[in-house]
Amino acid sequence: MVKDIDWANIGFSYTKTDYRFISDYKNGKWDEGRLSEDAVIRLDESAGVLQYAQTCFEGLKAYRTVDGHVVCFRPDLNAKRMADSCARLEMPIFPEDKFVDAVKQVVKANLEFVPPYGTGASLYLRPYMFASSNVIGVKPAQEYQFRIFATPVGPYFKGGAKPISVKISDFDRAAPHGTGHIKAGLNYAMSLHAIVQAHNEGFNENFYLDSATRTKIEETGGANIIFVTKDNKVVTPKSNTILPSITRRSLMYVAEHYLGLKAEEREVYLEELKDFEECALCGTAAVLSPVGRIYDHGKEILLPSGMEKMGEVTQKLYDTLTGIQMGRIEPPEGWIEVIE
């Protein structure tokens, strides 16, 4: 029933699976949608997505749990977030209940690609929408396509999570009153140059500052940030130009309600970095990636948790959230959508 794939070594890359969900928006409404074996899209040369980047996306995972079920983690929040992205980009909203239903259809149709429990691998789902009809004057397109494909992904960290090095970026990710809070492809297009440069300089990631004052920490190109204070408080930056990570919102809940820690969403100043005990990136792909070193223009900040392993609180957060996702720990109501 499960494909013969070397689950431990597939990495975080694309593998084609059998079925994807497709729905078209035409004449002001969405069609019923369908599953298709065709992974290729044919588009008009002047499609809105190609000319003016009218597109947004989501990302979530399906897991096999300890008791053999296949589940998804909080897909209703992805549906809601995509609706927010679409509203900001003048795209039609794909109904939230239909979004969750389509996620389930894709997982069910590709069950053989859901990795076995205990491998650390999972089935990554990529819902996305794009303008499919032609534009040449700058305006929203008339037609759109919503799709979800699935691809199995390996454990993000082979052989355990080693702390990473990040740099404070000189580039900006999001403008005040811009699109930083939505999951638009355009936010990623303009972060590519910054991440390639950071990699060339030997860093794993960029920490972006608030572009208005450049004094506060926001997030990386594709993950939110959490800090742990010396007195075990979990802190995450507050800003309306940060993408509201579902992993981060879940971790803050776990910190408070499962671990009994204080959890605080507030502005975090660059100057405070030296005072934190632990730091980690959070997002669907890796859950939590510990940060060991932050480079700020000639100054180096070494987190006390070091470069060898996750800090103690980060580890507890990681174990609890993955325990909830894999069915080892009782979830808060509504967090786990059982598919099989």
Ligand X SMILES: *Cc1c(COP(=O)(O)O)cnc(C)c1O
Q: What are the catalytic residues?
A: 183
Helices (H), the chain: 48-52, 75-88, 96-109, 185-189, 192-200, 246-257, 312-325
Considering only residues 225 to 254 of the shown chain, the ones binding ligand X according to CB under 6 A are: 243, 245-248
* Closer residue to ligand X in complex, CB, 222/292: 222
The yes or no reply on residue 205 touching ligand X (CB under 6 A) is no
Q: How far is CA 281 from the centre of its chain?
A: 11
Give the C-alpha separation, 280 to 164, whole Å.
9
> Shortest distance, CB of residue 189 to ligand X, whole angstroms?
12
Q: By C-alpha distance, which of 10, 14, 251 is closest to 119?
A: 10
The yes or no reply on residue 223 touching ligand X (CB under 6 A) is yes
Torsion of CA 25, 27, 31, 34, to 10 degrees: -50
* Closer residue to ligand X in complex, CB, 209/246: 246
The β-bridge partners of 145 are 24, 130
Per CB under 6 A, the list member of 122, 165, 206, 224 interacting with ligand X is 224
Phi-psi region of 245 (alpha: psi -120 to 50; beta: other; left: phi over 0): beta
> Shortest distance, CB of residue 23 to ligand X, whole angstroms?
22
Per CB under 6 A, the list member of 59, 95, 306, 331 interacting with ligand X is 59
> Shortest distance, CB of residue 226 to ligand X, whole angstroms?
11
The yes or no reply on residue 204 touching ligand X (CB under 6 A) is no
Q: By C-alpha distance, which of 72, 179, 164, 48 is closest to 123?
A: 72
The yes or no reply on residue 219 touching ligand X (CB under 6 A) is yes
Q: By C-alpha distance, which of 199, 252, 251 is closest to 221?
A: 199
* Closer residue to ligand X in complex, CB, 3/249: 249
> Shortest distance, CB of residue 31 to ligand X, whole angstroms?
27
Write each residue from 250 to 289 as x if it is in contact with ligand X (CB under 6 A), else as -, in one continuous string: ---------------------------------xx-----
CA angle (262, 77, 337) in 5-degree steps = 100
Residues that bind ligand X (CB under 6 A): 59, 183, 219, 222-224, 243, 245-248, 283-284
